[in-house]
Copies of this chain bind each other. A is one copy, B any other.
Amino acid sequence: MKLGRLNHIGVATPSIEESIHYYRDVMGAINIREPFDMEEQGVKVCFVDTPGYDGTSGTQIELIEPLGADSPIHGFLAKNPAGGQHHLCYEVEDIDDARKWFEELGKRILGPTRIGAHGTPIFFLHPKDMMGQLTEIMQTPEGDGYWSN
């Protein structure tokens, strides 16, 4: 496997509304997408764009807020009430090849391959097998590579 683009950093938050205020008014973010619910994952999600080099889009920040009583984010926020860095997401060209690669290395994959927040297939790997980093692998989405503000 070849290391792909760092598509986004997942950041857990007790309140996307408060995080939007923080990213806009403290950090100076310009492009903040519309929040949306991912009910099957138990999260509300909002992407903050960051600029890359030379007019390209950089790594996004994915804000994730618990949705519902069974949200997997509750445990993280119990330990980190203010929120914080939750996962790293790398792109791959082919999700099935990547799944096979990690399976053959004996890495624990958390659940089936499913459709993620960008509409392309994704899966997560157990942080204990990934040097402490909860790692999402996603098939590269099309387009959207250029920064505008």
Which residue numbers of A lie inside 8 Å of B, CB to CB? 1-6, 9, 11-13, 18-19, 22-23, 26-30, 48, 50-54, 56-59, 61, 80-85, 88, 90, 102, 105, 107, 127-128, 130-133, 145-146
Contacts and interface: CB of A to CB of B under 8 A. Distances in A.
**Chain copies in complex:** 2
Output the residue of A29, A51, A57 with the most chain B CB within 10 A: A51
B6 A50 contact: yes
Nearest to A85: B85
Contacts of A133: 11, 83-85
B56 A26 contact: no
Given A56-B52, A58-B52, A131-B13, A2 B28 contact: yes
A131 B22 contact: yes
B22 A58 contact: no
Contacts of A128: 82
Contacts of A131: 11, 13, 18-19, 22, 82-84
Contacts of A88: 9, 85
A85 to B, nearest CB: 4
6 contacts: A3-B30, A9-B85, A13-B131, A26-B107, A52-B53, A54-B145
A13 B133 CA distance: 10
